[in-house]
Amino acid sequence: MIYYKTREEIEIQRHSVLLVSRTLALVAEHIGPGVTTLFLDRIAEEFIRDHGGVPSFKGYHGFPATLCTSVNEQVVHGIPNNLPLREGDIISVDCGILKNGFHGDHAYSFQIGEVSPAKKRLLEITKESLYVGIAQAKTGNRIGDIASAIQNYVQKHGYSVVRELTGHGLGRDLHEDPSVPNFGKSGQGAMIKEGMVLAIEPMINMGKKYVKQLSDGWTIVTADRMPSAHFEHDIAIIDGKPEILSTFEYLEEVLAKRSSTVQAV
Ligand code: MG
Ligand code: MG
């Protein structure tokens, strides 16, 4: 069942979503070679609780952490650990927060130091595909229009779409209907209607589309162990059009400031 939100509910939810954006900006301040994902997880949880939120993922079906941290061939649902990140890694950091009864859920793939041109391109195309999908999230369209736009865009660039995991509705529950796949046919699936709030999240592989779950019961990796990227925004359908509730601006400002500091030395 799809829950359509009122304007008032969307405004409340916007605060939860933007707290996720600010948490990702905090991660951006600290992430880099030598840093562990467990450390990032600890500061993220502290920040969220200090701001009146509760980490949505911690305890969700038993997930043990605040962030999902998925490095290189890990697609999503990586568990933070004490292995230091290395120059050249890419890492999806996904964060969910419950505040005032509503969830925010959004993710960004970071580069650790200098990464290969091939990985950089994978990140660029995956991020672009997210916006290509969002552009189709308007009344009169269907979920399949978002899905096929993402699929066509990434396949045109030689990448593949993970089938087993999808975006989703988002609200009082972390995962609501409808599911929002990143592949499919235009003109199919649920109608897009006023008041829908969706988490759109392409998970895109450099190699083949196949994935596996590791024995930890969580981490999804590419079957061919080639790199994978993941970006996620939360959007609301307002006045028939997609409004992006989350933002990458906070974290990208931090990253830009950090890289200019490094260059100035
Ligand atoms: Mg997420
Ligand atoms: Mg999600």
- Please give the distance, rounded to the nearest whole angstrom, from the Cα atom of residue 263 to the centre of ligand 2: 35
- Please give the distance, rounded to the nearest whole angstrom, from the Cα atom of residue 142 to the centre of ligand 2: 19
Q: What is the C-alpha separation between 186 and 150, in angstroms, rounded?
A: 11
Residue 253 identity:
E
List the chain pLDDT tens, one digit each, 265 residues.
999 999 999 999 999 999 999 999 999 999 999 999 999 999 999 999 999 999 999 999 999 999 999 999 999 999 999 999 999 999 999 999 999 999 999 999 999 999 999 999 999 999 999 999 999 999 999 999 999 999 999 999 999 999 999 999 999 999 999 999 999 999 999 999 999 999 999 999 999 999 999 999 999 999 999 999 999 999 999 999 999 999 999 999 999 999 887 655 4
Task: Find out whether the peptide bond into 178 is cis, omega within 30 degrees of 0.
Answer: yes
Residue 241 pairs in a beta bridge with 238
- Any idea which ligand is nearest the CA of 94? 1
- Please give the distance, rounded to the nearest whole angstrom, from the Cα atom of residue 232 to the centre of ligand 1: 6
- Please give the distance, rounded to the nearest whole angstrom, from the Cα atom of residue 199 to the centre of ligand 2: 5
| Helix, strand, or coil (residue 60) | helix
Q: What is the pLDDT of residue 263?
A: 59
Residue 232 pairs in a beta bridge with 107
CATH architecture under which domain 7-263 falls: Alpha-Beta Complex (3.90)
Phi-psi region of 161 (alpha: psi -120 to 50; beta: other; left: phi over 0): beta
Q: What is the pLDDT of residue 260?
A: 81
With CA atoms as reference, report the closest residue to 78 among 57, 49, 97: 57
The sign of the CA dihedral 97, 109, 70, 158 is positive
Q: What is the pLDDT of residue 86?
A: 98
Residue 144 pairs in a beta bridge with none
Residue given tokens 């974290």 in the structure block = 251
**Where exactly are the structural domains of the chain?**
7-263
- Any idea which ligand is nearest the CA of 230? 1
- Any idea which ligand is nearest the CA of 76? 1
With CA atoms as reference, report the closest residue to 29 among 263, 264, 259, 265: 259
- Please give the distance, rounded to the nearest whole angstrom, from the Cα atom of residue 59 to the centre of ligand 2: 16
Residue given tokens 């609501």 in the structure block = 176
Non-local CB neighbours of 164 within 8 Å, separated by 6+ positions: 211, 220
Around ion ligand 2, residues with a beta carbon closer than 5 Å are: 105, 199
- Please give the distance, rounded to the nearest whole angstrom, from the Cα atom of residue 95 to the centre of ligand 1: 6
- Please give the distance, rounded to the nearest whole angstrom, from the Cα atom of residue 104 to the centre of ligand 1: 8
Q: What is the pLDDT of residue 261?
A: 75
State both tokens at 91: 């890492």
